[in-house]
Amino acid sequence: MQRTLNVLLIDEAPTGQGFDRQLYAAGCNVIGVFGYGRQTVEHLRRRDYDVIVVVVRQPLIRSLRAVEMAALVSDGRPVVTFIDNLASAPFQLARQVMRAGAADAFSDSTKPGDLMELLWRAILVADRRRLALRGGVDEVIAPGEITVVFGAKGGTGKTTLALNLAYGQATLSDERVALLDLDPQPGGIPALLDPANFRQISPTALSSFLDERLADLLENHLVYSYGPLTIVRVESGTEEAPQPEEVVRLIEELSLAFDHMYIDCPAPMTPAAQQALGAATLVLFTVIPDMQALITARTVLAAARETPLFNDKAKVIVNQATMEHALKREAIEEGLGLPVMWEIPTDPAVLQAAQIGIPLVQSVPGSPATQRIFDLLYAISGARRRPRLGRVARFMSRWRSGERENEPVGARSASAQR
């Protein structure tokens, strides 16, 4: 669990109308409230706070000077601004506070959970920048993309979708791709694969791009290699979900080692699942177009929305979209309060792939479900497979290659020179 944030607040609001109440509601500890004047400089030199929040009010000239003063004296600690009445000229005002030295700006429409995440992100970026400037790191490593595949209950196809997206991207791109299995149920993702086609490996086998800290962390879990894809299955020692602190460490370290990470999130809303949703850059929420499944999904989404910025990064994926008596797209969007991003048709090839233990995108590349999964993969990652040639195009390609093979060497070199 994250520790309490110590905030130094600069605000000149009348008594009882200050921004400190919102900070307390978000779970922060306000160590003091100070004005815009020079007397605040001595307080800015203190060491007992993590972040400075400056409330930008009228008159703007005084509050903007307070932002500049805080950025100069804070010794690298971030300055975040709360803009009172952002509705008036928001773009120009946001630019002004950024030029004055603010790390971020927000307004009164920010929820308490979003406010806490915003402050933590500002601190994280400031710490990395300060460490890099002081020579503490040889290079700045940007974390990879994190896509969480999440469902309200078993049977929505979330594990199958996560496996096929991860394997598809690993084979179609030059990026390092990992699949993190957080589901505590027996089997998990390895149960979907034929044991003859994948193998368990030691984290030391990945030492070419894993640092020693992550390799030690993975020693407590199962690591598999399936072609170009690395699969990490979290082991908690019981059928209970892994501890959230362990999940946070794994996600943070893996995102620095891999370009893209897919996470198969457990269906119940556990603390570990909430940590994964919070770390995600994209959440794919799988649902089947059935009324009972929709009711369950609404209940789970109500808990998931407690995660900061969940609605901004969550997309609905309708699996088995062409099943008999399937709900219409409009009914699903109205019931869940989220737009449907993608629909995957009902396809018997999915069951066939599961029976032989080979991912659908590898075993049946021409099936309707595979086509939709590949299109979804292109939409979220840019990885795209080469288009299949038609029958005539394939014949002409073979004919041209045979014609070139029968061509005399001299004529071939002369045509090459031309």
**The CATH number of domain 6-133, selected from 3.40.50.2300, 1.20.1280.290, 3.40.50.720, 3.90.1150.10:** 3.40.50.2300
- Minimum mean pLDDT range among 42-46, 158-162, 212-216: 212-216
d(CA 147, CA 162): 9
Whether 415 has a pLDDT exceeding 50, the answer reads no
Topology agreement, domain 6-133 and domain 145-381 = yes
Q: State the pLDDT at residue 18.
A: 74
Q: What residue spans define the domains of the chain?
A: 6-133, 145-381
**C-beta of residue 270 within 8 angstroms of C-beta of residue 280:** no
| pTM of full prediction above 0.85 | no
CB atoms < 10 A from the CB of 85, how many? 13
**The CATH number of domain 145-381, selected from 3.40.1520.20, 3.20.20.210, 3.40.50.2300, 3.40.50.300:** 3.40.50.300
Reference 198, options 217, 224, 178; nearest CA is: 224
Whether 133 has a pLDDT exceeding 80, the answer reads no
Whether 162 has a pLDDT exceeding 90, the answer reads yes
d(CA 342, CA 352): 22
187 contact partners, CB below 8 Å, separation of at least 6: none
Q: Is 373 helix (H, G, I), strand (E, B) or coil?
A: helix
- Tell me whether strands 340-344 and 314-319 are parallel, antiparallel or unpaired: parallel
Q: Look up residue 132 and give its DSSP letter.
A: H
Q: Which helix (H) or strand (E) holds 284?
A: strand 282-287
Over the stretch 262-298, which tens digit does the pLDDT of each residue have? 999 887 777 888 888 888 889 999 999 989 889 999 9
d(CA 205, CA 219): 12
